[in-house]
């Protein structure tokens, strides 16, 4: 299996509001940036979308080192999701799981790969995290301008 590092981030201008996501894929000397945005979203949805888009960009099963500054995404996929499945996609307080559409998509794309999940502190000078933060922020800004936010 090929080894790939994926760095992801999401951003939102307002929460909800215009949002963006950014991804950096690294394999050996090769790098690829991906980014996009939505006009009415939340920060958590953009964080999840970044991970989904990064994993979906891989055309074959890979060994993935995935880096995110989102505890929501990392805890969700590594700790909470099995309980949600057992509880019929309800939280411990019996409420529907938020963003279940994206959780289902993430489970599907993650299942194709062997993934090591890593948390990185946001805005702490981590070069790749700063890079994907800029991609996500730029997309959120662009979507906001297109929607007449500024």
104 belongs to the catalytic site:
no
Residue 85 lies in a domain: no
Check residue 58 and give its pLDDT.
98
**Helices 43-56 and 100-110, packing angle to 10 deg:** 20
**Which residue among the candidates 28, 60, 88, 123 is catalytic per the annotation?**
123
Per the omega criterion (within 30 degrees of 0), is the bond before 87 cis?
no
Which ranges constitute the DSSP H helices of 62-126? 71-75, 81-86, 100-110
Residue 49 lies in a domain: yes
Check residue 147 and give its pLDDT.
66
Residue 84 lies in a domain: no
User: How many domains, the chain?
Assistant: 1
**Which residue among the candidates 20, 38, 47, 54 is catalytic per the annotation?**
47
69 belongs to the catalytic site:
yes
9 belongs to the catalytic site:
yes
Q: Which DSSP helix (H) or strand (E) runs through 20? A: strand 17-27
pLDDT < 50 regions, the chain: 150
């Amino acid at each position: 299996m090929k080894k790939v590092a994926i760095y992801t981030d999401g951003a939102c201008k307002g929460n909800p509001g215009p949002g963006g996501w950014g991804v950096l894929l690294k394999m050996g000397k090769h790098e690829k940036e991906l980014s996009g945005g939505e006009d009415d979203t939340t920060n958590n949805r953009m964080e999840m979308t970044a991970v989904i888009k990064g994993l979906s960009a891989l055309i074959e099963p890979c060994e993935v080192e995935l880096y995110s500054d989102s505890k929501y995404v990392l805890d969700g996929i590594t700790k909470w999701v099995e309980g949600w499945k057992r509880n019929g996609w309800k939280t411990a307080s019996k409420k529907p799981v938020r963003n279940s559409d994206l959780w289902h998509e993430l489970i599907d794309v993650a299942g194709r790969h062997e993934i090591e999940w890593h948390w990185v502190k946001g805005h702490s000078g981590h070069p790749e995290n700063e890079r994907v933060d800029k991609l996500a922020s730029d997309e959120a800004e662009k979507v906001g301008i297109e929607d007449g936010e500024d």
